[in-house]
C-alpha cells in the first residue's frame, strides 16, 4: 500500500518573506520618503493617499505589510482592513504623532500590530519592518506546517481505515482457526473459547482426533500482541491441524495405515527446534499439549511455560499442578517431560492461557491460581460453553472492565467415561 504523505521539506521550501508593502500617507513628501526607503531595503512598494484608495489597492493585491499614517483617524481603515478575510495574514503598523497610552490601546483594539511615532528615524523603521517580516515568515511557516499536519492526518486516517478493515478480516480468519466451539464425543465433550485483547492476538486452542476414543488437545500463547503474533499463531496451527493429520507433528502414521499419538514432550521438543532453527522470528510461545483417552480417563500432558491445567473434580475440588517448563523458542536442547492426569467420570479439565490467571483487578492484583480455583468453584454448576462464558463474565467482574489487557483462551474437556 503506497502512502502519499506530504513532505515537510516541500511544505516549507519556499521562503515566506514579506515582499509587498502598502504605504498609506497623505503627505506627498513623507509618502515618497517612505517608499524610497522601503524600495532600497528590497521591498516592492505601493502607496495610497487615502483610506479608500488603500482598500482599493488591497483588493487588487493584498499587501504583506501596511504602513498607515493618520493616528486616530486611521483606525477606521485599520478595522476595515483587518475585517477582510485576507487581512488576518498582513502586518499592520500605525504611524502616530503622539504615542500616548490611549492612542496605543485604541490602535491595538482596531487590529494594529505595532505603533510607531511618525518622527522615528529610518533605522528604527527598518528594524520594525524587519521584525514584521520575521513575524510573517514564522506565521506563514506555521500555517504551512499546520496544513501539512492536516493533510498528513487525512492520509493517516485513510490508512487507519484500511488497516482497521484488514484487521477485521484478520480477526475473522483467526477465529476461523477455531473451527468448532463445541464438540460432543463418545466419552466426553469439548468446549473452546478464544477472546483477543485487540483485533487479533497470539492465543489459540484446538483439538485433533487421534483414533476413536482418543483426542489431542492444545492451548498456545505466542509472545506479544497484534499482527505478527497472529501470523505466528496461524503458522503453528498448521503443525497441530486436525484437517491434515499427515502434517500434524503430534501424530505418526503406522505401517498399516493407522494413526498414533506421539509423546507430547517429544512433539514440543521438535517444535522448539523448528522455531529456533527454521523460523526467522523473535517470538516464542507457551504451549500445553495433551492426549486424552476418553475410555480410561488418562491424560498425557506436556507443558512448555503454559499455566498449569485446572482439573475440576466432580466433588468441586480444583487441582492445579504441572511441570511448568520453558516456553518454546527460547533455549535450544531443552527437554519437555510428559506427565499423567487421571480423570474420573464427571471431572472437567481446563487448559487456560495466562490471560486468565494474570488478569489484574482495578488495583493491579492478579487473579492467580487461588483466585481461579475460587472462581471455578463458584461456577461448578455450569457446564460446556456456558462454563467458559461464565468464566469470562466472572473475569470481567474481577477486572472491573469488559476488556482484558491480554488474550483470553481456553479449552474444556468434560469426561463422562464409557457409556
Domain positions in the chain: 8-145, 178-415
Q: Where are the beta strands (DSSP E) in 14-89?
A: 20-24, 44-48, 65-69
Mean pLDDT, the chain, rounded, equals 86
| pLDDT tens profile 121-156 | 899 989 998 998 888 888 888 888 888 888 888 888
| pLDDT tens profile 151-192 | 888 888 887 777 666 656 656 655 565 667 889 999 999 999
pLDDT computed for residue 207 by the predictor: 93
What distance in Å separates the CA atoms of residue 241 and residue 24, rounded to the nearest whole number?
85
Q: Where does residue 194 rank: exposed (0-12), middle (13-18), buried (19+ CB within 10 A)?
A: buried
What distance in Å separates the CA atoms of residue 261 and residue 263, rounded to the nearest whole number?
7
**CATH domain 8-145 topology:** Rossmann fold (3.40.50)
For the chain, the distance separating the N- and C-terminal CA atoms, rounded to the nearest angstrom, is 58
Higher pLDDT, 396 or 107: 396
Superfamily of domain 178-415: PPM-type phosphatase domain (3.60.40.10)
Judge whether residue 65 has pLDDT over 60.
Answer: yes
CA dihedral 415, 241, 247, 234 (to 10 degrees): -150
Which residues are within 8 A (CB) of 151 and not within 5 positions of it... i.e. 6 or more apart? Answer: 6
Cα 208 to Cα 30, 239, 249, 251: the distances in Å are 97, 11, 11, 9
Q: Where does residue 30 rank: exposed (0-12), middle (13-18), buried (19+ CB within 10 A)?
A: middle
pTM of the complete model beyond 0.85 = no
Amino acid at each position: 500500500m503506497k502512502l502519499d504523505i506530504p513532505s515537510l521539506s516541500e511544505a516549507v521550501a519556499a521562503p515566506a518573506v514579506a515582499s509587498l508593502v502598502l504605504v498609506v500617507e497623505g503627505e506627498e513628501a513623507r509618502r515618497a520618503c517612505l517608499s524610497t526607503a522601503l524600495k532600497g531595503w528590497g521591498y516592492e512598494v505601493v502607496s495610497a493617499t487615502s483610506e479608500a484608495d488603500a482598500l482599493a489597492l488591497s483588493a487588487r493585491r493584498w499587501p504583506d505589510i501596511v504602513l498607515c499614517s493618520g493616528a486616530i483617524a486611521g483606525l477606521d481603515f485599520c478595522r476595515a482592513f483587518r475585517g477582510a478575510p485576507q487581512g488576518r495574514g498582513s502586518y499592520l503598523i500605525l504611524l502616530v504623532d503622539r504615542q500616548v497610552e490611549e492612542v496605543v490601546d485604541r490602535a491595538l483594539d482596531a487590529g494594529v500590530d505595532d505603533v510607531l511615532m511618525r518622527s522615528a528615524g529610518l533605522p528604527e523603521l527598518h528594524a520594525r519592518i524587519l521584525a514584521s517580516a520575521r513575524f510573517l515568515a514564522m506565521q506563514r511557516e506555521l500555517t504551512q506546517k499546520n496544513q501539512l499536519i492536516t493533510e498528513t492526518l487525512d492520509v493517516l486516517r485513510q490508512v487507519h481505515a484500511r488497516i482497521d478493515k484488514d484487521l477485521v478480516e484478520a480477526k475473522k480468519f483467526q477465529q476461523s482457526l477455531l473451527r468448532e466451539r463445541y464438540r460432543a464425543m463418545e466419552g466426553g465433550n469439548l468446549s473452546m473459547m478464544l477472546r483477543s485483547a485487540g483485533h487479533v492476538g497470539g492465543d489459540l486452542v484446538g483439538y485433533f482426533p487421534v483414533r476413536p476414543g482418543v483426542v489431542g488437545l492444545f492451548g498456545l500463547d505466542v509472545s506479544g500482541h497484534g499482527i505478527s503474533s497472529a501470523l505466528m499463531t496461524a503458522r503453528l496451527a498448521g503443525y497441530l491441524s486436525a484437517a491434515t493429520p499427515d502434517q500434524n507433528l503430534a501424530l505418526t502414521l503406522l505401517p498399516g495405515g493407522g494413526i498414533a499419538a506421539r509423546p507430547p514432550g517429544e512433539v514440543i521438543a521438535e517444535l522448539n527446534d523448528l522455531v529456533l532453527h527454521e523460523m526467522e522470528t523473535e517470538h516464542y510461545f507457551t504451549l500445553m499439549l495433551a492426549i486424552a483417552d476418553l475410555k480410561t480417563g488418562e491424560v498425557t500432558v506436556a507443558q512448555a511455560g503454559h499455566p498449569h491445567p485446572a482439573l475440576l473434580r466432580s466433588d468441586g475440588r480444583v487441582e492445579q499442578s504441572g511441570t511448568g517448563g520453558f516456553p518454546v523458542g527460547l533455549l535450544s536442547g531443552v527437554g519437555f517431560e510428559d506427565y499423567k492426569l487421571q480423570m474420573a467420570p464427571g471431572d472437567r479439565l481446563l487448559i487456560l492461557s495466562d490471560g486468565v490467571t494474570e488478569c489484574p483487578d482495578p488495583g493491579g492484583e492478579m487473579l492467580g491460581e487461588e483466585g481461579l480455583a475460587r472462581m471455578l468453584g463458584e461456577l461448578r454448576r455450569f457446564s460446556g460453553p456456558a462454563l467458559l462464558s461464565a468464566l469470562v463474565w466472572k473475569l470481567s467482574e474481577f477486572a472491573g472492565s469488559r476488556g482484558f489487557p491480554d488474550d483470553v483462551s481456553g479449552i474444556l474437556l468434560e469426561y463422562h467415561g464409557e457409556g
